[in-house]
Chains A and B, each alone.
Chain A
């Protein structure tokens, strides 16, 4: 049974870069059967899709984040990561990594596995 676990600093200073890693256990990320996403949720608010990564290298990001997002994968460690630059207090949220299964490169079932989430606070 695949599990996802987020890790990274819980506190980031304004204008700095937020960096998170998602470690996948119970299955390999190095295949074309899934894409891997980051989703965030400010306290008491709804879910915001940040972006997705195919391990082939293709990425898609939410334009609302104004080009501040980069996602990458380290298949040797079975991990994928998120980098968000120039953070402000508005980036304070719980960050989730997540998996979406694919069939013939099309997503099926939406997001079917989520990490437990990690809280990131942006504050000086």
Chain B
């Protein structure tokens, strides 16, 4: 089974500053059939379901602000939030859809410093 480890568990960032979240997979999620990484990122605010931000590790979902970006390949991935806004306060999760059992990272809570 693939295990996703997220770092840090939480971070506090000043408004306008950047935030970086890491997701490490215990196995590669790169699919050679289409040369894509089967990894996505979600944002979850209190009382709401998760919202898709990034898929294929680096493709931004329609309507997601361009201050959110994803990078990485194989087993190491990063979600970057440039110029943090107040509305970005949330918990962020990575998710692998490469193989069953599908899995989520443990989450990273982003707060304002």
A interface vs B, CB < 8 Å? 37, 39, 46-49, 52, 60-64, 96, 100, 106-112, 114-117
- Complex contact A49–B104 (CB within 8 A): yes
Number of B interface residues at 8 Å Cβ cutoff, please give it: 28
> Is B95 engaged at the interface, CB distance under 8 Å to the other chain?
yes
A47 to B101, CA, bound (A): 13
Instruction: Collect the chain A residues with CB atoms within 8 Å of residue B39's CB.
Output: 110
What B residues does A37 contact at CB under 8 A? 102
Chain B residue contacts of A111, Cβ below 8 A: 40, 42, 50, 52, 95, 97
State the Cβ distance, B31 to closest chain A Cβ, in Å: 7
Interface string of B44-59 (1 = CB under 8 A from A): 0000111110011001
Q: Shortest CB–CB separation between residue A52 and chain B, in angstroms?
A: 7
* Known A-B contacts A108-B55, A109-B40; A62 and B101 likewise in contact (beta carbons under 8 Å): yes
Question: Can you pick out 27 interface pairs between chain A and chain B where the beta carbons lie within 8 Å of each other?
Answer: A46-B104, A46-B105, A46-B107, A47-B104, A47-B107, A49-B101, A60-B100, A61-B101, A63-B1, A63-B101, A96-B49, A106-B31, A106-B33, A106-B34, A107-B38, A109-B59, A110-B38, A110-B39, A110-B42, A110-B52, A110-B55, A110-B95, A110-B97, A111-B50, A112-B55, A114-B49, A114-B51
Across the A-B interface, give the 10 residue pairs with the lowest CB-CB distance, nearest first: A110-B40, A114-B49, A109-B55, A47-B104, A49-B102, A60-B100, A62-B101, A107-B97, A46-B107, A110-B97
The winner among B95, B102, B103 for most chain A CB atoms within 10 A is B102
Contacts of A114 in B (CB 8 A): 49-51
Which of A47, A61, A112, A116 meets B52, CB within 8 Å?
A112
Most chain A beta-carbon neighbours within 10 Å: one of B31, B50, B95, B103: B50
Measured CB to CB, the nearest residue on chain B to A97 is: B49
Contacts of A47 in B (CB 8 A): 50, 93, 95, 104, 107
Given A106-B34, A110-B40, A110-B42, 11 further pairs, Cβ under 8 A: A46-B93, A52-B100, A61-B101, A108-B55, A109-B40, A109-B55, A110-B38, A111-B40, A112-B52, A115-B49, A116-B48
